[in-house]
């Protein structure tokens, strides 16, 4: 099974045979984009076999299929100028370059780590060599070629393996390659973490010889502490007994009796309980001193039983397991339950799938997906032609993008994408931020509790839509969990099939660059692929409300000009609004008395009548075009019982038909709508038309005339 935990990591894999491909197999199995860079004849392992009977052309060697599932393949001649140029183009977009050549091969090709890092400073360059790289320590064997058997031999593993000192034995699997590859997969991930934090990559290397010494760490401390030279132990253990392989009537079984309690259980099952209490054998140290005697007793007992019989008697009670062949493994219920033998679909649907060893790592937070097929040689050669859109920007393009980034105050955005089935998804973000011009990067934040979080975490592309100041309702819609967001809004498909909102001031289509954990949010960083913008003012948001950063000079002038005017307030108590009732049945917002026509005057006037008003901010300024008088209305709240002449009306039951003036009637209608969004603007104009000011701009607003 595979996961997508490394999605977004691009690896250029120049390695051959086993060590490097095993390393990159682990990365590809968990979502990294691994691109094999192959010569004209391909990776050597394509020709190693074995081949199935339905493959007369020998296109799919088992060696290659097993190690290269889920990777891409590009053929490049690294000795040619075009091949070098294409490789550099790829490396400029890569997170990792992996190779297992001898030292200086890439340097001689003009593709050294240093030259690649000069063009891509965050690049992690990983090298698996027989005896390491001179950059990290010059070995006298540095230029020697090496394969698994050499690493096992020189690293001490074979000297400790086998029945006796006269019969050193190679471990069956290519552990000299495999273990070095596993070590390098860790090294790559560690270096990537550092690069993500600092923006600076590094050269990482592992020597197969060194990896074997690490694997055989026991012989090091034994020799250091005792002076002994550990030799083959057969199938036993130097300190623990019974510990190793023991005969059965149909094969062998393994026992690992370490704790004294396990010894007691084993002797009981053997119908030899007296051995459990025998002072010679009761402790671990005692058993080690009488290893030959104990091994003879246990072997004599086990040889009388089959593997299945001993599994029934000992399974789950002591550390025990039968010695399995691959035929046994194919039938084992554990292997089936853990899905450790995975079927990979053949690229040709007329051919049967392959069976390979699955990746043993499991992540509870990741959906387990089938392993993809290995690539045909050169299957993805056209990939290099798609890289122009991520090449370095010229000066003119940088200036254009900088102008777009700098055209907006921090405002409200809607971030959109498509989930795997093509359904559009989106959410409202209160800001976006440009991060870099070269490469062009921006970021948005996603709450970990967001309903669409998973869609954005797995998406390869997304779009950032900068809302205009007349798109409050759009913002509110995408801030909700309504399943009909896209049905209720106007949008179209843009580049990469990303949903783009009609009317937005700017839209940036991005490829996912990084996803970074940030407390209760995730930071989504995107590489800008395309963008477009139009003139206008953005929608802004602060402390739970849409607002203007400052009043324009014309609004200030209107609010402070001399002449006759009134000071009023729209005052709410939860979902009710306080209105003044006149003797003729008409209603109006409360106003300051003529003798104290100020904001403080209206506060004092209402306080004297037993109310507690609080004015929050300016809400409307309008001028009567015929009389020249102007009205200033504040927004605020009020508490207390309404005295005679004042009354609280429910927000949905305002007597709009009895409001004294058209301007106040339209203003109260606007208040109803804005209250539902919890965000308020400021109206400026005449009694018939004007502007609702928002964060840094304006919305045209026409007041309908009542008959």
Q: Give the separation between CA 129 and CA 186, rounded to whole angstroms.
A: 16
Q: Give the separation between CA 653 and CA 649, rounded to whole angstroms.
A: 6
CATH topology of domain 10-230+341-357: Rossmann fold (3.40.50)
pLDDT at residue 166 above 80?
A: yes
Structure confidence at residue 539 (pLDDT): 81
Of the candidate ranges 70-74, 360-364, 375-379, 542-546, the one whose mean pLDDT is the lowest:
542-546
pLDDT at residue 399 above 80?
A: no
CA angle at 663 for the pair 662 and 667, rounded to the nearest 5°: 115
Contact 407, 422 (CB under 8 A): no
Q: Is the peptide bond before 439 cis (omega within 30 degrees of 0)?
A: yes
Residues 6+ apart with CB under 8 A from 142: 103, 129, 131, 132, 133, 134
> pLDDT grade, residue 669 (50/70/90)?
confident
Query: Average pLDDT over the chain, rounded to whole?
Result: 87
> pLDDT grade, residue 554 (50/70/90)?
very low
Name the DSSP class of 390. Answer: G
Beta strands in 388-460 (DSSP E): 413-418, 424-429, 433-437, 440-447
The string of DSSP letters for 57-89 reads T----HHHHHH-TT-EEEE--TTSHHHHHHHHH
- For residues 688-693, average pLDDT: 48
| Residue 389, helix vs strand vs coil | helix
Q: In sequence order, what are the beta bridge partners of 691? A: 684, 700
Report percent pLDDT > 90 for the chain.
65
The string of DSSP letters for 559-605 reads HH--SSEEEEEEEEETTEEEEEEPTTS-EE--B--GGG-SHHHHHHH
Residue found under tokens 């208040």: 671
What's the burial of 652, exposed, middle or buried (CB within 10 Å: 0-12/13-18/19+)? exposed
| Residue 652, helix vs strand vs coil | helix
Catalytic residue, from 43, 148, 177, 205: name it: 177
| Residue pLDDT, tens place only, 464-505 | 999 988 888 898 899 888 888 999 999 999 999 999 999 999
Q: Give the separation between CA 350 and CA 335, rounded to whole angstroms.
A: 27
Structure confidence at residue 691 (pLDDT): 46
Structure confidence at residue 392 (pLDDT): 57
pLDDT at residue 626 above 80?
A: no
pLDDT at residue 625 above 60?
A: no
Contact 508, 443 (CB under 8 A): no
| Residue pLDDT, tens place only, 264-301 | 999 999 999 999 999 999 999 999 999 999 999 999 99
Contact 678, 473 (CB under 8 A): no
- Buried b / exposed e over 659-697, threshold 16 CB at 10 Å, is bebebbbbbbebbeebeeeebbbbbbbebeebbbbbbbb
Q: Is the peptide bond before 50 cis (omega within 30 degrees of 0)?
A: yes
- For residues 394-401, average pLDDT: 70
pLDDT at residue 408 above 70?
A: no
Of the candidate ranges 576-585, 662-671, 696-705, the one whose mean pLDDT is the lowest:
696-705
Name the DSSP class of 545. Answer: B
Q: Where are the domains of the chain?
A: 10-230+341-357, 243-324, 392-533, 553-702
Q: Is 177 a catalytic residue?
A: yes
Domain 243-324 bears CATH identifier 3.20.20.70: no
Q: In sequence order, what are the beta bridge partners of 526? A: 442, 512
Structure confidence at residue 411 (pLDDT): 66
> pLDDT grade, residue 430 (50/70/90)?
low
Contact 21, 15 (CB under 8 A): yes
> pLDDT grade, residue 537 (50/70/90)?
confident
Of the candidate ranges 113-117, 304-308, 629-633, the one whose mean pLDDT is the lowest:
629-633
Beta strands in 161-264 (DSSP E): 203-207, 243-248, 251-256
Structure confidence at residue 541 (pLDDT): 62
Residues 6+ apart with CB under 8 A from 335: 329, 341
Name the DSSP class of 351. Answer: S
pLDDT at residue 666 above 50?
A: yes
As a CATH number, domain 553-702 is: 3.90.79.10
- For residues 656-685, average pLDDT: 73
Contact 478, 426 (CB under 8 A): yes
| Residue 438, helix vs strand vs coil | coil
Beta strands in 452-505 (DSSP E): 461-466, 491-493, 499-501
| Residue 260, helix vs strand vs coil | helix
Q: Give the separation between CA 282 and CA 275, rounded to whole angstroms.
A: 8
Of the candidate ranges 178-187, 509-518, 548-557, 631-640, the one whose mean pLDDT is the lowest:
548-557
Structure confidence at residue 199 (pLDDT): 85
Structure confidence at residue 707 (pLDDT): 43
Structure confidence at residue 245 (pLDDT): 96
Structure confidence at residue 104 (pLDDT): 93
Structure confidence at residue 621 (pLDDT): 75
pLDDT at residue 536 above 90?
A: no
Residues 6+ apart with CB under 8 A from 427: 414, 415, 446, 450, 451, 452, 478, 479
Residue, of 681 and 244, whose pLDDT is higher: 244
Q: Give the separation between CA 656 and CA 588, rounded to whole angstroms.
A: 10
As a CATH number, domain 392-533 is: 2.30.110.10
Of the candidate ranges 75-89, 280-294, 329-343, 654-668, the one whose mean pLDDT is the lowest:
654-668
| Residue pLDDT, tens place only, 202-249 | 999 999 999 999 999 999 999 999 999 999 988 888 889 999 999 999
pLDDT at residue 695 above 80?
A: no
- For residues 426-442, average pLDDT: 81
pLDDT at residue 696 above 60?
A: no
> pLDDT grade, residue 561 (50/70/90)?
very low
Q: Give the separation between CA 562 and CA 525, rounded to whole angstroms.
A: 52
Of the candidate ranges 147-156, 404-413, 580-589, 655-664, the one whose mean pLDDT is the lowest:
404-413
> pLDDT grade, residue 437 (50/70/90)?
confident
Q: Give the separation between CA 89 and CA 391, rounded to whole angstroms.
A: 8
């Amino acid at each position: 099974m595979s996961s997508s935990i490394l999605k977004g990591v691009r690896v250029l894999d120049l390695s051959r045979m086993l060590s490097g491909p095993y390393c990159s197999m682990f990365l590809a199995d968990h979502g990294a984009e691994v691109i094999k860079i192959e010569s004209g004849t391909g990776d050597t392992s394509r020709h190693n076999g074995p081949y199935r009977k339905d493959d007369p052309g020998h296109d799919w060697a088992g060696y290659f299929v097993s190690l290269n599932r889920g990777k891409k393949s590009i053929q490049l001649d690294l000795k040619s100028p075009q091949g070098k140029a294409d490789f550099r183009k790829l490396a400029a977009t890569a997170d990792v370059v992996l190779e297992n050549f001898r030292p200086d091969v890439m340097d001689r090709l003009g593709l050294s780590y240093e030259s690649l890092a000069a063009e891509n400073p965050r690049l992690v360059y990983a090298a698996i060599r027989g005896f390491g790289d001179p950059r990290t320590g010059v070995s006298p064997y540095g230029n020697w070629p090496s394969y698994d058997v050499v690493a096992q031999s020189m690293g001490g593993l074979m000297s400790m393996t086998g029945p006796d000192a006269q019969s050193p034995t190679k471990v069956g699997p290519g552990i000299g390659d495999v273990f070095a590859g596993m070590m390098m997969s860790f090294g790559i991930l560690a270096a990537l973490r550092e690069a993500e934090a600092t923006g600076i990559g590094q050269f990482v290397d592992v020597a197969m010889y060194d990896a074997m010494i690490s694997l055989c760490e026991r012989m090091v401390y034994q020799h250091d502490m005792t002076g002994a030279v550990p030799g083959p132990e057969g199938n036993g253990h130097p300190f623990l007994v019974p510990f190793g392989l023991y005969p059965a009537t149909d094969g062998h079984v393994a026992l690992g009796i370490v704790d004294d309690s396990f010894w007691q259980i084993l002797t009981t099952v053997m119908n030899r309980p007296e051995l459990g209490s025998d002072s010679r054998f009761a402790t671990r140290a005692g058993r080690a001193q009488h290893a030959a005697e104990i091994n003879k007793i246990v072997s004599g007992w086990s040889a009388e039983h089959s593997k299945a019989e001993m599994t029934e008697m000992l399974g789950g009670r002591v550390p025990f397991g039968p010695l399995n062949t691959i035929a046994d493994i194919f039938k084992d219920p554990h292997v089936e339950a853990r899905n450790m033998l995975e079927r990979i679909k053949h690229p040709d649907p007329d051919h049967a799938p392959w069976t390979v060893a699955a990746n043993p790592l499991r992540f509870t937070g990741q959906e387990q997906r089938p392993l993809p097929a290995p690539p045909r040689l050169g299957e993805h050669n056209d990939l290099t032609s798609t890289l122009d859109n991520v090449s370095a920007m010229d000066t003119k393009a940088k200036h254009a993008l900088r102008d777009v980034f700098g055209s907006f105050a921090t405002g409200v955005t809607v971030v959109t994408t498509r989930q795997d089935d093509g359904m559009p998804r989106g959410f409202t973000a209160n800001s976006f931020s440009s991060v870099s011009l070269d490469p062009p990067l921006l970021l948005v934040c996603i709450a970990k509790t967001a309903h669409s979080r998973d869609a954005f975490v797995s998406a390869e592309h997304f779009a950032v839509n900068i809302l205009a100041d007349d798109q409050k309702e759009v913002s509110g819609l995408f801030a909700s969990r309504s399943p009909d967001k896209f049905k209720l809004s106007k949008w179209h498909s843009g580049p990469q099939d990303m949903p783009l909102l009609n009317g937005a001031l700017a839209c940036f289509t991005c490829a996912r660059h990084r996803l970074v954990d940030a407390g209760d949010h995730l930071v989504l960083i995107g590489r800008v692929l395309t963008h477009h913008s139009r003139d206008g003012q953005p929608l802004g948001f602060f402390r739970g409300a849409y607002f203007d950063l400052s009043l324009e000079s014309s609004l200030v002038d209107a609010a402070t000009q001399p002449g006759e005017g009134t000071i009023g307030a729209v005052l709410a108590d939860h979902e009710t609004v306080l209105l003044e009732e006149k003797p003729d049945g008409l209603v109006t917002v409360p106003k300051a008395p003529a003798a104290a026509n100020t904001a403080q005057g209206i506060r004092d006037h209402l306080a004297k009548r037993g109310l507690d008003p609080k004015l929050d901010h300016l809400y409307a300024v309008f001028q009567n075009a015929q009389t020249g008088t102007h009205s200033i209305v504040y927004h605020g709240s009020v508490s207390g019982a309404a005295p005679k002449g004042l009354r609280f009306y429910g927000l949905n039951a305002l007597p709009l038909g009895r409001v004294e003036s058209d301007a106040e009637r339209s203003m109260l209608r606007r208040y109803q709508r804005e209250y539902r969004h919890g965000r308020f603007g400021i109206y400026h104009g005449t009694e018939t038309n004007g502007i609702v000011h928002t964060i840094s701009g304006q919305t045209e607003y026409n007041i309908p005339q009542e008959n």
